[in-house]
Amino acid sequence: MMILDISNTSITDSIPDWFWSTFSKTDYLILSRNQIRGTLPAVKFGKMESRGMDFSMNLLEGGLPKFSKNLTYLDLSRNNISGPLPLDFGATALKSLLLFKNSLSGTIPNSFCKLKYLRFVDLSGNLLQGPFPNCWDSSEEGNTSTSNGSSSSNPSLPMISKIFMLNLYDNSLSGPFPLFLQKCQRLIFLDLAFNQFSGSLPTWIGEKLSSLAFLRLRSNMFTGDIPFELSKMKDLQFLDLASNNFSGMIPTSLVNLEAMSHIPAGNGSLSDVVYYGLSLSNVAIIFVNVPSDSGIIGSNEFIHMSMSYNDSLSVVTKGQQLEFTTGIRFMVNLDLSCNSLTGHIPEEISALTALKSLNLSWNDLSGTIPMNIGVLQSLESLDLSRNGLSGEIPKSISSLSALSHLNLSYNNLSGQIQSGNQLQVLDNQASIYIGNPGLCGPPLSKNCSDTKPPPPGAEDEDQDALFMYLGLGIGWATGLSTVYLFLLLNLKWRIACFLFFDRLYDQVYVQVALTWASLTRALD
C-alpha cells in the first residue's frame, strides 16, 4: 500500500501536471491543511486509481470533476469549489463524501442515488437547492409510494440504505422530508437544519429511523404536530426542532427517549460517527478483518482509529451558538423553541434526567413550570421564556447545581423568586425574570412585602367599611329625595323655603360687606 502524506506543510503552490501522473497509482493522497490553489483537472483527476483523497482545507476552486472509479474516500471540504455536483459521480464504491463548506450550487442529481455504498455524506455549508432526489430500490418498482400514498417518481433508481451520517446543514434545499430515508435504518446522524424543507414529519420516522442519535431540523418550514413516534428512537440524545411551524401539544411520549435519561458513556452510536474515518491526516492506517454485515466497517476495509471528525458543529445552547467537535457525542439536548406549541409542559419531562439543555422558549405554552424540574440535575441550560406560563417558580429549581444559563422572562409567573447557590452566580440576573409583573424579590427591585396577601380578617373589615359607606350614601339620597318631593307638591312650603333662603342670603351678604369694609379701613 502506497501513501503520500504532505499535509500541513505550508504549500502555497498549485498542483503541477506531473503530480497526477506520478502519483496516479498511490493508494492514499493526503494534501490537506495547506494553501494549494488552482482547479482539479477533470481528465487527470478522473484517471486516478487512488482509494482515498484528502485535499481539505486548501484554496482549490473551480468545478467538481467526475471521480475516479476506485475512489472510496473523498474529502474536499473547506475549499472554494463551486458549480454543480457531477451528473455522474463515477466512483460507484464511494463510502465517504465530504464536500462541506464550499460554494457548490444547483440541485443534488439523481446520480447521487447510485452511490449505494455511501456511509458518510457531508454537503453542509454550500448553496445547494431544490428537493432531495427520491432514491428507491429498483426491486420495489411498482410498489413504492410516498407517505400520502402516491407513487414514487423514480422507482428504478438503486436505493441508498447504508448511510450512517447525512449532513445537509445550511443550504437552500426544499421539498418534503426526504422519503428515501425510511430505507436508511442504520442512520445515526441526520442534520437538515437551515434549509427550506416543509410539510409534516412522516409518522414512520420513529420506527424506520430508530437508530438515530442526532436529529436536527432547526430553521425549516415543517408544520403539523410533533409525531409521538419520535419516542421510538431509543438512541436519540440530541433533538432540535426549533424555528419551524410545529403546533399542538408537546407529546408526552417524548419522556420515553431512553438516551436522554442516562449520561452518555462516550462510546455510543454517536461516537461511531464522530470517530469514523472523516480525515486521513495524521492517522494510523489499519486493516481489519470483520464480517461485512457487522456494521460500519466491512471486510478488510481501510479505517483509522486516531483521528476525529475535524468539522465543528454549531449548536445553539446556553443562550448562544457554540461550536462542538468530538464533544457533541456527550450532548443531550431537547430544543422545541420558536414554534407554535400549546398546552402544558409535561410533568413527566423530569424522567429525562441526562438533559444538558432544555429550550421550550417562544411558544404558546401555558400552565405552571413542573414542580419537579429540579430532578434534572445534569441541566446546564434552561430556557422557558416567551410563553404564557403562570404560577410560582418551583422551589426545586434552586437545586439545579449544574445550571449556567436560565431564562424565564416574559411569562405570567408570580410570587417570590427562588434563591440558591447556583442561581445567585448566573449572569444577567434581572434579565432572567424580566417581563413577569407578578414576580418579586432579588434580583428585581420589587419588594415582596408590597405584594403580600392581607392578614386574616382584613378582607372582612374592608367589606364592612364598604357596606357602611354604601348605607350612608343611600340614606342621604333617600332624605334629599323626600325633601325635594315634599317641596314640589306643597306650594306654601316651597314659597316659605325660598323666602327663608333669600333672608339668609341677605344677612350673609351684609355681614361679608361690613367685614370687608372694616378690613379695608384697617389696612389704610
Element (H, E) at 505: helix 491-523
When comparing pLDDT for 226 and 141, which is higher?
A: 226
Strand-pair partners of 225:
247
331-356: per-residue pLDDT in tens?
Answer: 899 999 999 999 999 999 999 999 99
Q: Report whether 21 contacts 48 (CB < 8 A).
A: no
Distance CA 93, CA 290 (A): 18
Least confident range from 11-15, 170-174, 241-245, 308-312: namely 308-312
Distance CA 161, CA 488 (A): 102
What does the block give as the cell for 161?
440504505
Q: Is residue 134 very low, low, confident or very high in pLDDT (cuts 50, 70, 90)?
A: confident
Q: Is residue 6 very low, low, confident or very high in pLDDT (cuts 50, 70, 90)?
A: very high
What's the half-sphere exposure (Cβ side, CA atoms, 13 Å) at 311?
A: 26
pLDDT confidence of residue 445: 86
| Whole-Å CA distances, 398 to 217, 219, 250, 360, 456 | 32, 32, 25, 19, 30
Q: Is residue 13 very low, low, confident or very high in pLDDT (cuts 50, 70, 90)?
A: very high
Distance CA 384, CA 33 (A): 42
Q: What amino acid is encoded at 502 in this protein?
A: D
pLDDT confidence of residue 277: 42
> Any idea which residue has 422557558 for its cell?
384
pLDDT confidence of residue 496: 72
pLDDT confidence of residue 490: 66
pLDDT confidence of residue 485: 67
Sign of CA dihedral 299, 300, 301, 307: positive
**β 302-303/286-287 pair status:** antiparallel
User: For residue 306, is pLDDT > 70?
Assistant: no
Phi, psi of 324 (to 5 degrees): -125, 145
**β 214-216/313-317 pair status:** unpaired
Residue 9 is given by DSSP the state S
428-457: per-residue pLDDT in tens?
Answer: 888 999 999 999 998 888 888 765 555 555
Q: What is the mean pLDDT of residues 36-54?
A: 93
228-286: per-residue pLDDT in tens?
Answer: 999 999 999 999 999 999 999 999 999 899 999 988 776 677 777 766 644 433 333 33
User: Any idea how long the chain is?
Assistant: 524
385-405: per-residue pLDDT in tens?
Answer: 999 999 999 999 999 999 999
**pTM metric for this prediction:** 0.78
When comparing pLDDT for 151 and 53, which is higher?
A: 53
pLDDT confidence of residue 297: 37
Of the candidates 397, 337, 405, 326, the one whose C-alpha atom is nearest the C-alpha of residue 365 is 337
Q: Report whether 227 contacts 252 (CB < 8 A).
A: no
